Every structure is written in structure tokens, then in C-alpha cells.
Amino acid sequence: MPVAELVRGRSGRSLAEAWNGTPEAYRGTTFAGFPNLFMLIGPNTGLGHTSVVVMAEFQIEYVLDALRVMQARGVGVAEVRACAQAAYNADVERKLEGTVWTSRGCTSWYLDDKGRDTVQWPRATWRFRRLTSSFDAEVYELAAT
């Protein structure tokens, strides 16, 4: 993603540097080390079976709920915890095992140099909708500005 070179996080590193060739996000939307960065159609939100527009719509609702929670709690900064992002991505990777995109001998543009699929969502879209139906503030560091 070309924009990853331009976006800088809390430590001054670019998103591309943080990814080191393997993009990952929490629910395809937020990034540890990048406060208040919300992205639509981020890592592992691609679909091979329906329109990606539905994924963006689900993410928009998630972001809007995050903003509502932040406003209600009087906070101006939200950053997903690194442990939550790591656990989420490990689960996505497990669910991608054995799919057509990662099966034995499969090579495609979906796989990065490390052999990881950082593009596809491995389940039905209704499962992603369930995950993004409300902002899960407990996995975020919330702080005043």
C-alpha cells in the first residue's frame, strides 16, 4: 500500500516500516503504534466471493462506534493494544490455513514474501460483521488528547 510510506506512528516509524513487508491490522481497521489511525479495506479484508464494499460498510460502522465511545468517555486518542492485534492476526492466519489461497504449492499475489496471505478475509462476511458490530474499547488504550 503506497500510503504506508507516508503514515507515521507514535514512534516516528512509517506504517511500511512497522509492517516490514507483512501488513497487519486489528480487524483490518486499526494499528498498534498508530493512534487514531482508522483504515478501510486494510489488511485481510479482501474477498474472493462477494463485493468488498460490504467490508468497508462494516468498518465504517465500527469506526463510527469508536468515535461515539471516545466522545462519550471524553477521550481523544484510541490505539489498539499490540497484544490484541497479534492475537487477532494469529487467528486470521490460522483460519486461512488450508484455503485455496494458502494450500500446498499455491502461489499468488495474495501471498507476501514470507508466504503469508495479508489480503483475504478467511470467513463469511457475516462473521466480519459480527466482529465489527461494536467498538471493543477493552482492547484499546484510550487517553485524553
Cα separations in angstroms, 109 against 77, 78, 80, 100, 120 = 35, 32, 28, 13, 11
pLDDT tens for each residue of 16-73: 999 999 999 999 999 999 999 999 999 999 998 889 999 999 999 999 999 999 999 9
Do 10 and 17 touch, CB atoms closer than 8 A? no
3-class DSSP state for residue 87? Answer: helix
3-class DSSP state for residue 95? Answer: helix
| Residue 107 confidence (pLDDT) above 80 | no
CATH number where 72 lies? 3.50.50.60
- Its domain, for residue 22, covers 2-143
Distinct helix (H) and strand (E) counts, the chain: 4, 2
- Residue from 34, 49, 46, 20 nearest 112 by CA: 20
Q: Is this prediction's pTM over 0.75? A: yes
Give the rounded percent of residues in the chain with a pLDDT score beyond 90.
Answer: 82
Domain count across the chain:
1
C-alpha–C-alpha distance, residues 74 and 88, integer Å = 27
